[in-house]
Structure 1
């Protein structure tokens, strides 16, 4: 019997991912499967166009790649056990002779460093560099401004190559200099559980950012260094974004002595300094929770949002201010509601206290509030049982992702009632992969 633990990433592989924001894998599935998927994808594109989110039901064989223990094990290492295969997926077609794309982050970026979202890029055909694979800049997932292509590398590889990347990694389609088509199938995955402590995990690394990410991935406590190198909050204003961010993490390691300076930067006029300061406070752990909670009443909307986002990024360490986050979940400002509802899905994973607020948010007028609420409830799993009725109603929402997240929530609640609602909906919504414009019945 297959043991998934045998396929988890090694410490050195996870450390490579933390440093670079990606890891390249080779599926263990046979070459014939990748060829079959490629041929079907070419036919679908030719006769029906891009299937978008429906590529998985349209070509069910792709699921065999996603359930490959090599891929499943790596995803479990990066986004945690019981991760969510998000319904957004997209086949990317790079036409022969294309000039490629500009470097970009995908549009749902939250500008946070902890890996709660990841993507997988799957190539069903051999993709040498001249055929226009995805280009990425290693380590750029920590940057909010474009890194340029100076350090770009190509994610080239043979058929069956799957590259898992941090959602915020800067990437692009490179020019396809051949006369051959290039397909890359993109999948999105969400972390559903906060990291748990891993014993005997140690990484001696000099970069304070990488130290913080390693501690988070392995469930460690914040590392406070009273003798950290001399650095001031003004270093967050330097023009080199990478150095400014690392300065923030160094300040985070100084603990109490730097809290007031980081909080001051959070309330200042510079958006860049505020963002960097939020990283330092998130790395500080529980010490930062109360000072951040006080900013939730600030008169500047951007400061309030940044404070709530950072409390959410602290995850279970923010449990002590859960009631305060719940209290702003119904704020008049939709931006505040989006941030607080999203944070509740991370902070309240050990309690059902936030469920009424999350269930009410499923009826919000703002699309992103509803999307965040439906995802937050799925992260709560069985604790969200009292929201079963509201989740059933959300299956009729106009937004495809609200419906999908609600369905995932009902599955994770796992009661007879939730499963009946789920299966009744799936039966009515069943999509036949054999039905096309050429074969309608």
Structure 2
């Protein structure tokens, strides 16, 4: 993957939202002519969803768009590794929801992460059942479906999207598909990529230490985190140090990372 110009990379504000929420929704990033072509390919697809990426050239063109490449490089670098992909198809009037789960089963990396791109080639309103995510859950590691016993969690967000939207997710985020209550089939394509280099300073780091950007992480508490909210905040602060490449930047609660620098 060729390197993009700096202005196509994610901003510090966008990366701060990703570190805080575990996902970043980038709207209107894919031109409509590509959306139309990909949707036609999705509707006519007869093979396994795992083959769609390899056999659909127009889909691969989507990920060559400068802003899309810039986002990917901001997360996983210039030469990411392909992990897997799948075309998810939810039929019309499919009223059963998917169970809460996280996709990463075995992962002992303290900071590094895979990124998952969920691409919507058509509008996906709430009644169509686009993916439900739990903001901030990406740093609370769980074993796939061990969270399947939960139903609704305070703070959950449905990824209602317009055609041409790509949602980039941290591999650890809790998520689940929702019922499709419409008469139309819902499609979403998922691509997962591994980092091709150490994930430090890959985005546009201008203003990464500004008060405005720091505040995004400092105020990123979620009600569902309960008594562990400050511990979750510390994990965000440590991940921010990692992605910025600055081991001294401190957006932690009461600057705890600085006070405990020997142990951090």
Aligned to 1:158: 162
After superposition, the Cα gap between the structure-2 partners of 1:209 and 1:80, relative to the gap in structure 1 and judged at 3 Å, is same
After superposition, the Cα gap between the structure-2 partners of 1:59 and 1:254, relative to the gap in structure 1 and judged at 3 Å, is same
Partner Cα distance (1:33, 1:195) in 2: 30
**Moved segments of 4+, more than 6 Å:** none
- Unaligned segments of structure 2, at least 5 residues: 219-232
Q: Select the structure that is richer in helix.
A: 1
1:191 aligns with one of 195, 206, 209? 195
Q: Select the structure that is richer in strand.
A: 2
Contact 1:56/1:62, CA 8 A, preserved across alignment = yes
Matches within 5 A, 1:138-217: 138-145=135-142, 146=147, 148-196=152-200, 201-202=208-209, 203-205=213-215, 206=218, 207-217=233-243
After superposition, the Cα gap between the structure-2 partners of 1:111 and 1:3, relative to the gap in structure 1 and judged at 3 Å, is closer
2:116 aligns with one of 103, 112, 119? 119
Backbone CA RMSD of aligned residues: 2.8
Aligned to 1:268: none
Query: Alignment partner of 2:36: what SS?
Result: helix
How far apart are residue 10 of structure 1 and its match? Answer: 1.1
Partner Cα distance (2:39, 2:69) in 1: 21
Larger Rg: 1
Task: Say which structure, 1 or 2, has more relative contact order (CA 8 Å, 6+ apart).
Answer: 2
Q: After superposition, what is the alpha-carbon deviation per residue over 1:111-148, rounded to whole angstroms, capped at 9, x for unaligned?
A: 65624311000111111011011110111101135475
After superposition, the Cα gap between the structure-2 partners of 1:253 and 1:155, relative to the gap in structure 1 and judged at 3 Å, is farther
After superposition, the Cα gap between the structure-2 partners of 1:200 and 1:177, relative to the gap in structure 1 and judged at 3 Å, is closer
2:91 aligns with one of 95, 98, 102? 95
Aligned to 2:57: 60
Q: After superposition, what is the alpha-carbon deviation per residue over 1:80-101, rounded to whole angstroms, capped at 9, x for unaligned?
A: 33323x1511011112222220
After superposition, the Cα gap between the structure-2 partners of 1:20 and 1:113, relative to the gap in structure 1 and judged at 3 Å, is farther
- For normalisation by structure 2, the TM-score amounts to 0.77
Tell me the number of residue pairs that the alignment of Structure 1 and Structure 2 aligns: 231
After superposition, the Cα gap between the structure-2 partners of 1:176 and 1:215, relative to the gap in structure 1 and judged at 3 Å, is same
- Unaligned segments of structure 1, at least 5 residues: 230-248, 260-283, 285-441
Partner Cα distance (1:179, 1:144) in 2: 36
- For normalisation by structure 1, the TM-score amounts to 0.48
Aligned to 2:246: 220
Q: After superposition, what is the alpha-carbon deviation per residue over 1:32-80, rounded to whole angstroms, capped at 9, x for unaligned?
A: 3212211222211xxx34241x212321100111111111111111223
Contact 2:30/2:62, CA 8 A, preserved across alignment = yes
